[in-house]
Structure 1
Amino acid sequence: MRLQQLLVVLDPTQEAQPALNRAAWLARHSQAHLDLLLCEFTPALEGALWLDSTRLEQARSDLLTQRRAWAEQLAAPLRAEGLDVSVEVRWGKSVQQTVLDRVAERQPDLVFKASKNHGLLQRLFLSNSCWQLIRKCPVPLWLVHRAEWQGHKLAAALDPMHVADKPAALDHQLIRTGQELATSLGLEAHYLHCYAPLPRTLVFDAELIADYEGYAQRCAQQHRQAFEQLLAPYALQAHQQHLLEGFAEERIPQFVEQSGIDLLLMGAVSRSHLDRALLGNTAERILEAVHCDLLVLKPSQT
């Protein structure tokens, strides 16, 4: 995984900037360039009837000048310690579209953005930029979930049975990325897979009901074999491999909490079906539950 260009989305509504702090930490390890992006939009300055077009444009320009000065203040101490930092401030109603436009221009290796927990209603109507970027950002997206950062452990969530319609190559991409980050950043890497047999109450086949324990054991064996086969080409220790029984949106947050994971790697693919768009994919549901950073990877274009 290249770590030469890092795009950092600043939040002008917050004093603390955990996404910038996390990106700066990584840049210190990799000497990557930091591109700070601030998107500003104030409805009062968008087609206000009480201002003519010239004054409206001037008011927006003055606000962007103030925002740039603030962003430059954030960049100054990073430059003073030797990091390469640029600042871009733009007017835009859609934060996610502004980010995607900048990604298309600069082709960063990684995008950093702070995330927050949001209610179900917001998620259903895709009103939060994090949900949109998970689906549409073409480069890896690092969502900073909390300000505290220990920087000790990462975990990659894998799906060797491809029950979530993920391309098989994406699992290998996650493993390689986990190994590369572990080596370059000094993190302890773990790799996990969750599986869940059908609950007994949802089994309607009479033969399966009669031998439910056997069915559950066969299910576990299939997932174990697929998981071991996936990891076989990689030099991993036994303590790095975790096969967990249960639903991913429940077991992964539990594992993250119990194991002290700082960064969770997950794969995501773009969806076009309405039901998938409304419900979101596994990465989105887990984002609501985990209390660590989340690195979302899309299938490689190469």
Structure 2
Amino acid sequence: MKNITNILVVMDAASDHQSALVQAINIAEKTSASIELFLVVYNSQFVSHWNFNQTQLDALQKEYIASKLRWLETYALEVKSLDIVVNIDVVWHSDVSCAVLAKIASNGASIVIKSTKQDSTINRMFFTPGDWQLLEHCPVPLLLTKHIRDYSYRTVMAAVDPERAHDKPEQLDTKILQAELLMAELFDSTAHVCHCYQPMGIELWQGMNAVGMDHSLASGDFTDYSEAIKYHHKVVFDELLSHYTFDEEVTHLVAGSPEFELPELVKSHEVDLLVMGMGNNGKFIGNTIEKILDNVDCDILSIRYPS
């Protein structure tokens, strides 16, 4: 994600407020990138209906797409008024994520921006099945946005995993940090970095002791084990960050399950954008991504590797 030259915006015909487009305009104004407004439409009544023949159904579908193109054009005119190059496209497909992936494969994009759902009652995002599909398979950076007050990223956080035990691609952390620093530069944000690791619990430790398993620590003391694990993760975390200039107060090494600790970090530091990585195994730092993101209340920038 070194350069953003063309932004694919997945529009939402069911919403009067296009948060993904607002964020795309913010980025385009800072990067001179072009924007493509992309809408996926489908209506089962235009596929099979007892009262129409196939020719009539095809004509109805064509007119339906034309009406959506006219709808997109109203947004395109506003974008053009900002001296941003903009294109529009409407495709007929029953699966939004599959249509977006096909669009990227044919036309390419520097980044995809899509809005997410949010429940105002409990102030949480809810990802649709299509969002999960895109998170797992989108080959370019994917920005999932929600409704925020000013659409500005004051604080961004990169979640990295320098430990190699989870079959994660070695270069993914580097790509995550590069993406975070680019977004922080564009929005003049404070950039944080976190690494959550989960040490063995004391009950499991005691169980290993009981059967005489080697802990690789001479004393066999749980406190010593905890300190050794912390030191190990600090070494690999510091090694990863040695190529960057993050101040100590914005780096966070936290013992505990990422499922619980990462949402707390996001909340306590008032993070507006979380930059995370997705490997080919559909997992993030050793946990299913759903367990983490269901409880994170901020925008998400997902970096997949290879990309």
TM-score between both structures, scaled by the size of structure 1: 0.89
Are the equivalent residues in 1 in contact too, given 2:275–2:303 (CA < 8 A)? yes
SS class of match (2:246): coil
CA offsets 1:251-290 (integer angstroms, 9 cap, x no match): 1111111111111111101238xxx7xxx95433322111
> Residues 21-49 of structure 1, C-alpha deviation per residue, up to 9 Å, x if partnerless?
11111111111100110000111111222
Question: 2:186 matched to 1:184?
Answer: yes
Instruction: Establish whether residue 86 from structure 1 lines up as the match of residue 96 from structure 2.
Output: no
| Aligned match of 1:193 | 195
1:210 Cα deviation after fit: 5.7
SS in 1 for 2:40: strand
* Residue 286 (structure 1) aligns with: 292
User: In angstroms, what is the RMSD of aligned CA positions?
Assistant: 2.1
Match of 1:296 in 2: 302
How far the C-alpha of 1:195 sits from its partner, in A, is 1.0
Distance 1:98 1:59 in 2: 21
Residue equivalent to 2:77: 76
Q: Distance in 2 between matches of 1:31 and 1:168?
A: 31
**Aligned residue type for 1:104:** A
Task: Check the 8 A contact 1:5/1:34 in 2, yes or no.
Answer: yes
Q: What letter matches 2:17 in structure 1?
A: A
CA distance, structure 1, for counterparts of residue 145 and residue 161 of structure 2 = 23
| 1:205 paired residue number | 208
Superposed displacement of residue 145, structure 1: 3.3
Q: Deviations over 1:34-80 (max 9, x none)?
A: 01100001111112222101110111111111111111112221111
Superimposed CA distance per residue, residues 146-184 of structure 1 (whole angstroms, 9 cap, x where no aligned partner): 343232111100101134321121111111222222223
Partner of 1:122: none
Which residue matches 1:65? 66
- Long gaps (5+) in structure 1: 119-125
2:238 and 2:18 map into 1 onto residues whose CA distance is: 40
Shift of residue 90 of structure 1? 0.9
**Runs of 5+ unmatched residues, structure 2:** 120-126
- Write the distance in 2 (CA, Å) between the matches of 1:21 and 1:159: 31
AA at the equivalent of 2:186: S
1:50 aligned onto 2:46: no
**The 10-residue stretch of structure 1 (224-233 or 182-191) with the greater mean CA deviation from structure 2:** 182-191
Question: Within 2, Cα distance between the matches of 1:92 and 1:162?
Answer: 39
| 8 Å Cα contact 2:156/2:191 also seen in 1 | yes
Q: Hey, what does 1:265 align to over in structure 2?
A: 275
Q: More displaced, 126-135 or 89-98?
A: 126-135
Match of 1:220 in 2: 230
Q: Kindly tell me: are residues 178 and 223 of structure 1, through their superposed partners in 2, closer, same or farther at Cα, counting changes over 3 Å?
A: same
**Corresponding residue for 2:144?**
143
AA at the equivalent of 1:153: T
Residues 74/281 of structure 1: CA separation in 2 closer, same or farther (3 Å cut): farther
The match for 2:100 is 99
| 1:205 partner letter | M
Q: Percent identity?
A: 28
Q: Letter of the 2:152 partner, please give it.
A: Q
Question: Residues 235 and 210 (structure 1 numbering): CA distance in 2 closer, same or farther, change over 3 Å?
Answer: closer
In structure 2, distance between residues paired with 1:261 and 1:160: 21
Change (3 A) 1:132 1:97: same
| d(CA) in 1 for partners of 2:262, 2:191 | 15
More helix by share: 1
For the residue of structure 2 that corresponds to 1:160, the secondary structure is: coil
Tell me if structure 2 keeps the 8 A contact 1:160–1:230. yes
Partner in structure 1 of residue 255 of structure 2: 245
